[in-house]
Amino acid sequence: MGLGHEEGFGAPCLKCKEKCRGFELHYWRKICRNCKCGQEEHDIPSSNEEDRKVGKLFEDTKYTTLIAKLKNDGNPMYKRNVMILTNPVPAKNISIDTVTYEWAPPVQNQTLARQYMQMLPKEKQPVAGSEGAQYRKKQLAKQLPAHDQDPSKCHELSPGEVRHMEQFVKKYKKEALGVGDVKLPGEVEVRAPDESNLKNGGGRGTSSAVGAMDKKTPNQKASQYCCYHCKLRMKEGDPAVYAERAGYDKLWHPGCFVCYTCGELLVDMIYFWKNGNLYCGRHYCDSERPRCAGCDELIFSNEYTLAEGQNWHLKHFCCFDCDCVLAGITYIMVNDKPVCKSCYMKNHAVICQGCHNAIDPEVQRVTYNNFNWHATQECFLCSCCSKCLIGQKFISMEGMLFCSVECKGKMMS
């Protein structure tokens, strides 16, 4: 099964800049082999891959109106709504100012869609070529990993793991997946949730639900509705986001339709509803299954290991630098990543100011003002008279140590 190694090859890293030689996908980790950053941190040219991923997510759900089958291979493709706004600019040459949103709510009323966009933080509005478009692209990768729904994007799953994953995906499509609906609060008729659909902490509002949950007068003002997230009242004329699985008695400001765990705007209003909260795809899956800290995939095998407060496939508890298996050998955590002792000494160990050699992580050392020494008589000593300073008072200056003001003065002179 392939992980899509050709996609984005050579793309520059937005985080590391020129330090990265270009994106090259690790053979099982979801990171660049050159700079260790994720794929979402690289400036990979837009392709159909993200639309294919979302299309596959919506396949066999009630959201098939948002996808189209490709004629050449029959795979589902996400039909995201692209909105182009054209505003005449007052000038002698009558130039036209055009703004293209790479995604917009799939509503017929463009004025409503435009209002929705204006209520988002400017840096998160997906205007083509903008910071907001880059934000959307990054969140698509982070919130909806292809390897959370497609076994072919995972590393060497057994037939049993594939079967368990397919059952898991089918279950969350049926019970949790949804897409937000943008409407004016006064336009929505609140109905009681169907008792048979009370799953994951909230009622799934449907057109077949019977009976009003609250009696709303036709002229009820938007200010009488409160956002489920921030609890503030809606402003007159402002659109709100509804989540069918939560029930239509709940609504959100556009900027408040965020993941309960990461707090990020739910990309393209794609949500997962559980226990009265909205989640992005990644964090919903994290609440249901352990995730391997090595390959970033959900774990569907019965055997896995727990180390340093994280879960790992047995085969993926490896050195972050050289990929050697760490079972039974000494390792050191560097930035929450396990590294074997050999790689630590070569790439991460601090240098002793006394002997100028790397300090073994298993020996005692002295650290002061970001300088380090072996805690030995040979290394932690006065830079002038060589007196051992272990357990003694000392003066430090630019990495040098002195036992007294006199020694400091002699060295400085």
Please indicate, yes or no, whether residues 355 and 405 belong to a single structural domain of this protein: yes
Please indicate, yes or no, whether residues 8 and 24 belong to a single structural domain of this protein: yes
Q: Is the pLDDT of residue 6 over 90?
A: no
Contacts of 252 (CB under 8 A, 6+ apart): 180, 227, 228, 229, 240, 241, 242, 243
Q: Is the pLDDT of residue 1 over 50?
A: no
Please indicate, yes or no, whether residues 408 and 381 belong to a single structural domain of this protein: yes
Q: Is the pLDDT of residue 105 over 50?
A: yes
Domain's final residue, options 294, 313, 347: 347
Per-residue model confidence (pLDDT) at position 165: 98
pLDDT, average across residues 100-123: 94
Distance CA(48)–CA(53), nearest Å, equals: 9
Percent of the chain's residues with pLDDT above 90: 77
Q: Is residue 390 part of a domain?
A: yes
> Which of 242 and 85 is assigned the larger pLDDT?
242
CATH number at residue 325: 2.10.110.10
Place 214 in a pLDDT band, splitting at 50, 70 and 90.
Answer: very low
Q: Is residue 245 part of a domain?
A: no
Q: Report whether 196 contacts 253 (CB < 8 A).
A: no
Of the given ranges (3-12, 76-85, 176-185, 385-394), which has the lowest mean pLDDT?
3-12
The domain tally of the chain equals: 3
Q: Is residue 356 part of a domain?
A: yes
Of the given ranges (46-60, 102-116, 202-216), which has the lowest mean pLDDT?
202-216
Per-residue model confidence (pLDDT) at position 210: 28
Place 221 in a pLDDT band, splitting at 50, 70 and 90.
Answer: low
Q: Is residue 299 part of a domain?
A: no
Residue 271: which of 240, 246, 295, 238 has the closest Cα?
Answer: 246
Percent of the chain's residues with pLDDT above 70: 87
Q: Report whether 52 contacts 77 (CB < 8 A).
A: yes
Per-residue model confidence (pLDDT) at position 207: 33
Per-residue model confidence (pLDDT) at position 86: 78
> Which of 202 and 377 is assigned the larger pLDDT?
377
Q: Is the pLDDT of residue 216 over 80?
A: no
What does pLDDT average to over the chain?
88
Per-residue model confidence (pLDDT) at position 49: 87
Q: Is residue 238 part of a domain?
A: no
Q: Is residue 20 part of a domain?
A: yes
Q: Which domain holds residue 8?
A: 1-45
Please indicate, yes or no, whether residues 367 and 379 belong to a single structural domain of this protein: yes
Per-residue model confidence (pLDDT) at position 394: 94
Domain's final residue, options 347, 373, 401: 347
pLDDT, average across residues 280-289: 98
The contacts found for 81-87 with CB under 8 angstroms, 24 or more apart, are: 81/105, 81/106, 81/113, 83/110, 83/113, 83/114, 83/117, 85/114
Distance CA(251)–CA(183), nearest Å, equals: 10
Per-residue model confidence (pLDDT) at position 16: 93
Q: Report whether 214 contacts 249 (CB < 8 A).
A: yes
Of the given ranges (54-68, 180-194, 293-307, 362-376), which has the lowest mean pLDDT?
180-194
pLDDT, average across residues 9-28: 93
Q: Is the pLDDT of residue 17 over 70?
A: yes
pLDDT, average across residues 205-222: 40
pLDDT, average across residues 316-338: 94
The structure's pTM equals 0.84
Q: Is the pLDDT of residue 218 over 60?
A: no
Per-residue model confidence (pLDDT) at position 48: 84
Q: Is residue 50 part of a domain?
A: no
Q: Report whether 23 contacts 32 (CB < 8 A).
A: yes
C-alpha 113, offset from chain centre = 26
> Which of 192 and 349 is assigned the larger pLDDT?
349
Please indicate, yes or no, whether residues 390 and 366 belong to a single structural domain of this protein: yes
Q: Report whether 410 contacts 384 (CB < 8 A).
A: yes
> Which of 239 and 48 is assigned the larger pLDDT?
239
Q: Is residue 362 part of a domain?
A: yes
pLDDT digits (tens, 9 = 90+) for 243-256: 999 999 999 999 99
